Structure 1
Amino acid sequence: MSAQPVGGGPVDHPRVPKTIGGISNALRGSRRAQFFAELLEAQQGPELDGVLTAWWGRAMLDTDPDRDRVRAAAEAGTLPTTSMEEVLRRRQERGVR
């Protein structure tokens, strides 16, 4: 078993480029304005990197083709879940730390 991106294409070509333009183009509605507000206040360096990383994650979620289906399942209580203990057990079985 190998890790593959879910609906995002190859790892070196994510669905949303991790750039200011890529992130802003992917965000829905007022989230784009929130992104720019945080971006304009961030200091160059780790703070700016943190803003880009956080908003890139949100942009990836906004562009997930299964977003609406997953949200509906979560709201209906039908989204499959796994406990952390189960995740750790599976990882241990595969020899992953």
Structure 2
Amino acid sequence: MTAQPIHSHESDRVPRNAEGIAAALDGARRMDFYRELLAASPEEAASVLRRWWCEAMLDTDPAGDRLTAAALDGTLPTTTVADLVARRRAAGLPVE
């Protein structure tokens, strides 16, 4: 018997590297990304990549326009940090 995930895992739309992130960003934002990455110290580079990867994932989200409209309209569902932490603990996921 093999274990199957409850939720199917969609591979990342944006590869988690500088090339993938840059390809997902438009021209002006791509230049901002490169400028920030090149100015970062080696210790800061991972943080810059992580932040811009999140930006690129949001930019390429097929539901992005709907989510933006819901946020602007005040109809986007929200939750508390405490609820998120409780859900992660219940799922056996790390909470840092």
Q: Shorter-chain TM-score: which interval? A: 0.7 to 0.9
Which letter maps to 2:18?
A: I
Asked if structure 2 preserves the Cα contact closer than 8 Å seen for 1:28 and 1:62, the reply is no
Question: In 2 relative to 1, CA 46–86 (structure 1 residues): closer, same or farther, beyond 3 Å?
Answer: same
| TM-score, structure 1 as length reference | 0.72
2 CA distance for matches of 1:22 and 1:4? 23
Aligned residues: 89
Distance 1:17 1:95, change over 3 A: closer
Partner of residue 70, structure 1 = 67
Query: Out of 52, 57, 61, which is 1:55 matched to?
Result: 52
User: Structure 2 counterpart of 1:17, which letter?
Assistant: P
Query: Percent of pairs identical after alignment?
Result: 45
TM value normalised by structure 2: 0.73
In angstroms, what is the RMSD of aligned CA positions? Answer: 2.5
Question: Unmatched 5+ residue regions in structure 1?
Answer: none
Which residue does 1:38 correspond to in 2?
A: 36
Unaligned 5+ segments in structure 2 are none
